[in-house]
Amino acid sequence: MDRTNGAPTSGARKAGVARPSSPGRRAFLRTGAGVAGAAAAGAVLGNGGPAAAVAAEADPAHLPPNVPWWTQYLGDGVAARPYGLPSPYEAHVVRRNVEWLTATTESSVNFTPIQDLHGFVTPNGVCFERHHGGTTEVNPAEFRLMINGLVDTPKILTMEDIFRFPVESRFYFLECAANTGMEWRGAQLNGVQYTHGMIHCVQYTGVPLRVILDQVGVKPNGKWLMCEGGDSSGMHRSVPLEKALDDAMLAFAMNGEMLRPENGYPLRLVLPGWEGNMWVKWIRRIEVGDKPWHTREETSKYTDLLADGTARFFTWEMDAKSVITGPCPEKPVLHKGVNQIKGLAWSGRGRIKEVHVSTDGGRNWMQARLPDPVLNKCLTCFNAEFEWNGEEVLLQSRAVDETGYVQPTMQALQEVRGVNSIYHNNSIQTWLVNKTGEVENVRLG
Amino acid sequence: MSVLARTLTRGVAAGALVLGLGVSAAVAADLEPGKQYDLGRAATAEEIAGWDIDLRPDGADAPIGQGTPIEGEDIYLTQCASCHGEFGEGMDRYPVLFGGEDTLASHDPVKTPGSYWPYASTLFDYIHRAMPFGQAQTLTADQTYALTAFLLYINFVIDEDDFVLSNENIGEIEMPNRDGFIPDDRPDGQPEMVCMSDCDVGTEVIGRAAIIDVTPDDDGPAVSID
């Protein structure tokens, strides 16, 4: 055994040299699965970038009975990583965007890599971003929240003021109303990151909005709030007072640290269960009024066009929805025999009650397991098992929430709404596992 | 009894009750409704005036000013046309600003101020707060009224190119699609019953994303959606 073989110099180690990158699933499929022929491997590669690269070839010098270099030599000291980052082997777990969707990246969206995440909490660095004027950088010392309109005392609050109010910490999902919006007319994007990745779920910490409103005294005729961002689009939405007094909060932290700039640092609105567009980031002002404002984002956008040419407006709640995040196009089935199905379910109207899983395109369903916790307006993990014998399988999941709402089929949604709604597509997703173990986004009929 | 002793006694009592019921629950205080924290300070009228830029569909709170389509056309050509096109046709994927009448129920709806937007106030508000893209809040109220008037003119909402749009009359403009919106009537698409076995559903594959081939990192054609 050559004990020095494979040990990089310290410089090389720092640069990550000699550590296998992620050459993709081709090698993995070829060597790991034993079910994928060359043709299948080629097809999977063609399916594109978000490769579920798990491991590349292992160097025998690093395997038993040999002792690898990391077992012999010192690693980084505690001063080397003052803010830790994921392992370089996880470099594929990143947000991705779809260039052709928008004219610019400043007014655009990217997608959470839900196929590579575990549990229901989204790490802060991969929470999807939706901006209308780019990421806004605000110095907290220069942050001001103005509250005016139909109030007894218009006020200005600083972050220091905000920190002195009572706080709460709660887990909530945030889903863009346009999540899955590219799939109305058919299966279009071949990856769960793109079809369902406009969602994140974090523990938000902040001040209940009703506590803040108590400080200004909402006048009796005050029924609506206009919440306005301090970004270069001045993103603003009308919010009914009832929601503000119910479970809305002004959050300054996510998953235990201050908000990331991409997600509204230093203060954002949190409206549990409601469409993400309304969760105003970098919030600078709340105006109280007696009627809604009908802003651009609640008229021209975020209204749901129906087949007859009329459009629904103020479609705030996110309907119950679920999706299988493995297997999925980025996560092929690699082994015959027992396989685990995992996925996420959520509802803007409360808790998830049941998730059903089908392996035959919705003809027959089984109950999925729902490991604790099942929280209100929060992502809920589900899982189930299936035996794969190498035949084609049509995987689906279907969520039911505590109100009894059942996640519908696309056909059922299209019968009511047509195909031009863009927003609020919560239909059942189908993944086809083909005979090579590749997984495709398909539409059934 | 001291405060400390009372607190301890209450804690013991609550703990005993919880144990007796065989469940565990935290003992906690609630927020005090309506409590005044004496935090922050009053906003001055001048501060509010600088930030309170919104207006409503009926024209309430509209910034004082005025402008005409003719005036707006000049501003449009220098400030807007590079993205939205010389005629409002939209360059690349920037929004189209005119036309689209009678398309909303079609296969390819074109949603413009003329075909879709229910209120003229929204045009003024959005231009005033967010345009030109990357130079927000640089247009004066007069310039914004002029641009709004120009867009209403090219969408045949107003007929005269010297029409004076102002804070006085913006709430009276009637947009063609004003009645095209209905309140949220979900939930919808619900099954009569939750079928668990031998369900009558189509399971033939009728569409495949791999064939449409627009997933990033492909070399396929860039098909766009809107």
pLDDT greater than 70 at residue A30: no
Q: What percent of chain A has pLDDT over 90?
A: 87
Question: What is the distance of C-alpha A274 from the center of its chain?
Answer: 14
Omega prior to A327 cis, within 30 of 0? yes
Q: Is the pLDDT of residue A23 over 90?
A: no
φ, ψ dihedrals at B34, nearest 5°: 75, 5
Q: Helix H segments across A141-290?
A: 159-162, 192-196, 209-216, 241-246
Task: Give the burial class of A134: count Cβ atoms within 10 A of its Cβ; 0-12 exposed, 13-18 middle, 19 or more buried.
Answer: middle
Q: What is the mean pLDDT of residues A23-34?
A: 39
Q: Name the band, by pLDDT with cuts 50, 70 and 90, for residue A57.
A: confident
Query: Structural domain boundaries of chain A?
Result: 10-90, 124-312, 321-442
Q: What is the DSSP string of B126-157?
A: HHHHH-STTSTT-S-HHHHHHHHHHHHHHTTS
Show the domains of chain B with their CATH numbers.
Answer: 51-172 (1.10.760.10)
Whether B203 has its CB under 8 Å from any CB of chain A: the answer is yes
Asked if A26 is an interface residue toward chain B (Cβ–Cβ < 8 A), one would say no
| Ramachandran angles phi, psi of A182, nearest 5° | -85, 0
Which of A214, A291, A408 is facing B189, going by the closest CB pair? A408
Note the pLDDT tens digit of each residue in B59-107: 999 999 999 999 999 999 999 999 999 999 999 899 999 999 999 999 9
Find the residue in A nearest to B50 (Cα).
Answer: A146
Instruction: Find the farthest-apart pair of alpha carbons in chain A and give their distance in angstroms, rounded.
Output: 82
Answer yes or no: is pLDDT of A2 > 60: no
Categorize the per-residue pLDDT at A34 as very low, low, confident or very high, splitting at 50, 70 and 90. Answer: very low
Burial classification of residue B208, based on how many CB atoms lie within 10 Å of its CB (0-12 exposed, 13-18 middle, 19 or more buried)? middle
ipTM value: 0.87
Quick one: pLDDT at residue B216? 86
pLDDT tens per residue across span A191-221: 999 999 999 999 999 999 999 999 999 999 9
SS3 A171: strand
Q: Is A340 exposed, middle or buried (0-12, 13-18, 19+ CB in 10 A)?
A: exposed
Question: Residues A110-132: what's their mean pLDDT?
Answer: 98
Place of tokens 């600088």: B50
Partners of B83 on chain A (C-beta within 8 Å) are: 103
Residues 151 through 210 of chain A touching chain B, CB cutoff 8 Å: 153-158, 161, 164-166, 181-182, 186-191, 194, 208
Strand blocks (E) in B74-211: 165-166, 181-183, 205-208
CA A332 from chain centre, in angstroms, equals: 21
Cβ of residue B5 closer than 8 Å to a chain A Cβ: no
Query: Considering only residues 97 to 126 of chain A, which have any Cβ-Cβ distance to chain B shorter than 8 Å?
Result: 97-104, 106-107
Is the pLDDT score of A64 beyond 80? yes
DSSP per residue, A23-68: --HHHHIIIIIS---HHHHHHHHHT-S-------PPPGGGSTTS--
Query: Which chain B positions have a beta carbon within 8 Å of A365's beta carbon?
Result: 195-197, 199
For A366-388, how does the pLDDT look when each residue is reduced to its tens digit (9 = 90+)? Answer: 999 999 999 999 999 999 999 99
Q: Which residues of A touch B129 (CB under 8 A)?
A: 233-234, 236
Rounded to two decimals, the pTM is 0.88
The verdict on a CB contact (< 8 Å) between B199 and A362 is yes
A96–B31 CB contact, under 8 Å? no
Which CATH superfamily hosts domain A124-312? Oxidoreductase, molybdopterin-binding domain (3.90.420.10)
* Residue B132 sits at the chain A interface (C-beta within 8 Å): no
Q: Does A411 reach chain B within 8 Å, measured CB to CB?
A: yes
Mean pLDDT, rounded, for A71-100: 96
List of chain B residues with pLDDT < 50:
1-21, 218-226
For the CA atoms of A97, A103, A108, A113, the dihedral, rounded to the nearest 10 degrees, stands at -10
How much of chain A exceeds pLDDT 70, in percent?
88
Which CATH number among 3.40.190.10, 3.30.2090.10, 3.40.50.1860, 2.60.40.650 corresponds to the domain A321-442?
A: 2.60.40.650
